[in-house]
Amino acid sequence: MQLHVLQRSSGINAEYGPPKVIYVRLPSDIAERNVLLMYPLMNTGGTIHQSINELKKNNVREDKIIICTLFVTPAAVSLILREFPQVRILTTEVNEDCALHFGERYFGTDR
């Protein structure tokens, strides 16, 4: 199963606009499955938002979607849960600057 969303922007104020879906390949019975959306760092939530929209177009219920991410910003959590209140988010940590935070944690420079 594959769902690829092209992220053309790098933040909320980016000049390129919202992410664009470039490829979707889902099993015919996707609406009957639980779906894990895996995305390492969720800054704005735009890419995941587009992915959930694609799943919903294919009749996947929100309560069947679980987002798995290492780090997520409060803004992304707010966006996703405001738009899709039944979606669940599984993460290690919520942090204002998840990209910087990931680098610090990964390289051990957070001390």
Cβ neighbours, 10 Å, residue 5? 22
The predicted structure's pLDDT at residue 9:
46
The pLDDT of 14-18, averaged and rounded, is 61
Within the chain, what is the greatest distance between any pair of CA atoms? 48
d(CA 93, CA 101): 10
Tell me, what DSSP letter sits at residue 55? H
Total-model pTM: 0.79
The predicted structure's pLDDT at residue 87:
98
105 in helix, strand or coil? Answer: helix
